[in-house]
Structure 1
Amino acid sequence: MKFPGKRKSKHYFPVNARDPLLQAIQQEQEEGSWVVGIDQTLVDIEAKVDDAFLQRYGLSAGHSLVIDDATAEALYDELMRDALISHQFAGGTIGNTLHNYSVLADDRSVLLGVMCNNIQIGGYAYRYLCNTSSRMDLNYLQGVDGAIGRCFTLIGEQGERTFAISPGLMNQLQAESIPEEVIAGASALVLTSYLVRCQPGEPMPAATLRAIEYAKKHNVPVVLTLGTKYVIQDNPQFWRDFLREHVSIVAMNEEEAFALTGEQDPLLASNMALDWVDLVLCTAGPTGLYMAGFTEEAFKRKTNHPLLPGAIAEFNQFEFSRAMRHQDCEQPLRIFSHIAPYMGGPEKIMNTNGAGDGALAALLHDITANNFHRQNVPNSSKHARGYLSYSSLAQVCKYANRVSYQVLNQHSPRLTRGLPEREDSLEESYWDR
Structure 2
Amino acid sequence: MPEHVMPGRTDGLITLGAADALWVGLTADSAVPTASGAFTCSPAHARAGHVLLGGRVVATVRASGGQWLVREVEVRRAAAELNAVVMDRQDLVRIGPFRGAPRQEGHDETPLRWRRRITRELQKPGGPEQAEQREDSRPYHLAGIDWRQMLVEQTRDATQRTWWLPRAVVRLLDAAEHTETQWVQAARTRHASAAVTEPPSHPRQATRPEGTTTSLRPYDKELEGQLYSVLSRKPGTSRRVAGWACAVCRTAPATVLDHCHEHDYARAPVCQSCNTQERPDHLYSNDIRVANRYTRLFDTDTDDWLRHWHRCPGCRARTTLPLPHLAAWTAHIACRSLRPTHPASRGRKPCGVLRVSWTGSQQAPRSCLLTVAVDFCPSGEHRVLAQVPYREAAERFRVWLSETAPAVAAAAGPDRLDGLPAQSRPVIADTSGEGLALF
Give the TM-score normalised by structure 1.
0.24
Looking at both structures, which has the greater relative contact order when contacts are Cα pairs under 8 Å and sequence separation is at least 6? 1
